[in-house]
Structure 1
């Protein structure tokens, strides 16, 4: 395969990592309570079973079986506008609705075995995306960067099993294994002009692939007293392998069997402090090793190839929040998060990444002392970004992107 064909699939496969309204293609949607407080303190608050998605050691704080069932709806608004090439002489227009809205479920269960051990299982998602910018493939242009415009969908599900151990009254540790399933679809097709002859409708990429990967998480908590505690965790993410139909190339289609996508590791520290019976404050600092996301590798019947290289940078997010107990029936919470973007020197229309600010609020209605219905609402606001990306067909393509979202979340939590 020549370098030109390889560059076409490289840019197209990179869309696997398109917009999900967190740094890179990371999701923040694991619980309604977490969304309501901008996930501040979520690795140590342990007010419901969803804490095991952030820190398995916190399961040691439960002396009753706990269940949480949740659903998040992400209303995603990604705008790509004023896309042009050849110094602005060719205009491809704008796409005001480039990302798909998403429904993201989760479920968690914690089972204390005795005063020392607890086990738990959960199903949730840490990574995912969906975009469609194929409308920019307007026919009749002198040259069209079909390699940059198309449809992408990837869905990941994390199935976690964890155990915690209480060392003493203050210290607890925990560990878990993540079984990650992912499936994705890529389509890059359109009319390519600028060849010696008009090529007409061409398919450069047609991918339907899925696969499994295994990762893990370790964590610890330190309970200073019953009103103050600290937690930390480190999640090890695998290189995800997706296999299936991977057809691409122009004018002759070629095939690979697998796409290898390295996922980043996640480290976080969190704190919770009860100021009085009504008020508590909490915070989180999280580091994600997006610098590990260097290359996408294709393997199969052809020789292994580096199909896309990145120069991403590691990213931090910081969040702070407060919880107010109104009465025995209602609890209110709010939070703020600043989420740093990961794109460094290499930018892409397919990854309209930027720094983002989260403004969140939530509440819990306590049906009784053991059951509650929890609500979360988050407004995510990104920055306007100018993107310059090189197409193998049209040269440098320039566009302007913005990524916003509103998260609506609800869950039911119960102690047995």
Structure 2
């Protein structure tokens, strides 16, 4: 009983402040450290600068100061999402649908994303640690009168990861690491129900909720090729969630009353595997260059089929049709003096969305470019603080999303939402405190 309560409280305490809007492509969060934010997370799998290496490459723990290493902090993330309708239309062969002309307002918002890490040296060659951080998340919320509401007007994905890890230093050249990922995912989605013409009902919507615990792993290796060159290689596994929850429908009927339907449902959601190759190159006593290339297997996010829990009957389908993506980053650290280190970075992150027809209202993802800067201030011999800021530019994106009714495999086209998102941006401000003893 106590164990079950604890497993529920861990995500609840973190989610109390976390309602993340994705910083990396898809609905991934690239906000796990303040030090990494200053370099656009370039070369994170080779940096090994603080306990946050547990997430990016657990083998990096062997490069930390002996004893206890603690890093805690958070990121404020502000995202703007502005939709511009470009001629949403109903299927001409059917009765016209409710189609309000409302662009939905700013569907982004402000989020706080906390993180914390602890690493400890059991011996000069053996390290253990644990990290707790959100790894995937997204929150998008348009006004209820949003033109594209029948294709989705609210979505929230929250995923927190508890990451116990171990690292071993084989020799002066090679270190290996591994971690267990204990993850909790909570997904909440709302969309309108296509109805024939008439007054626009305030209670016409589908409300879907589900959550689950699941497990995965991550592996890492670091190679000290020379005193000035370090290479990191890391892999994080796919995690498969068997979500269970509720599917609630409320619709207005012709007589002016309401019709409702409530179901206990189940669905399978996968979060993707990823792999990164990174390098940290010491150019001089003051300058360090960082770089990486990262692959993410977004193609595992295809169709999410909602099924009635008791019978297994397919009830509805959420279609994403993602493709695998690549991210490249380049950053630098400049040691100004014994107290100050300054950081710079740039990165380009490809979107997993294949086409305008695949782009959803609640995840209007597009290619993005990061520009970042930051600093580390050494408070004392055992403590320091990191600051990081990133501005993310999103490529303009279009949608012609189809709205259908009917069960999966027997859908009828009711509407096509046509529109675009222009000049969407995100700003990330991070603070991180580091302490060793």
Q: TM-score, normalised by structure 2?
A: 0.84
C-alpha distance after superposition, 1:299-349 (max 9, x if no partner): 412325372343321000000001000001100000000000110032222
SS at match of 2:59: helix
C-alpha distance after superposition, 1:21-66 (max 9, x if no partner): 3211111100111010011111121111001111111112223321
Q: CA deviation at 1:79?
A: 1.1
* Equivalenced residues, count: 391
Show the counterpart of 2:436.
Answer: 415
| 8 Å contact from structure 2 (residues 148, 361) kept in 1 | no
Q: 265, 280, 286: which is aligned to 1:272? A: 280
Change (3 A) 1:106 1:131: same
Q: CA–CA distance in 2 between the matches of 1:258 and 1:193? A: 26
SS at match of 2:312: coil
For the pair 1:97 / 2:123, whether they are aligned, the reply is no
Greater alpha carbon shift after TM alignment, 218-227 vs 371-380: 218-227
For the pair 1:362 / 2:374, whether they are aligned, the reply is yes
SS at match of 1:44: helix
Alignment of 1:1-150 (within 5 A): 20-62=22-64, 63-82=66-85, 84-86=87-89, 92-137=101-146, 146-150=149-153
Q: CA–CA distance in 1 between the matches of 2:199 and 2:28? A: 40
Show the counterpart of 1:180.
Answer: 183
Q: CA–CA distance in 1 between the matches of 2:59 and 2:37? A: 21
Show the counterpart of 1:378.
Answer: 390
Q: CA deviation at 1:194?
A: 1.7
| 8 Å contact from structure 1 (residues 81, 96) kept in 2 | no
| 8 Å contact from structure 2 (residues 248, 260) kept in 1 | no
| 8 Å contact from structure 2 (residues 151, 192) kept in 1 | no
Q: Structure 1, unaligned stretches of length 5 or more?
A: 1-17, 138-143
Greater alpha carbon shift after TM alignment, 215-224 vs 256-265: 256-265
C-alpha distance after superposition, 1:137-165 (max 9, x if no partner): 4xxxxxx7642242222221111000011
Q: CA deviation at 1:131?
A: 1.0
Q: CA–CA distance in 1 between the matches of 2:130 and 2:217? A: 13
Q: CA deviation at 1:94?
A: 1.7
Q: CA–CA distance in 1 between the matches of 2:178 and 2:131? A: 13
Show the counterpart of 1:140.
Answer: none
Show the counterpart of 1:297.
Answer: 305
Q: CA deviation at 1:20?
A: 1.6
Q: CA deviation at 1:351?
A: 2.0
Root-mean-square deviation (Å): 2.3
Q: Structure 2, unaligned stretches of length 5 or more?
A: 1-19, 252-258, 406-413
Q: 387, 390, 396: which is aligned to 2:399? A: 387
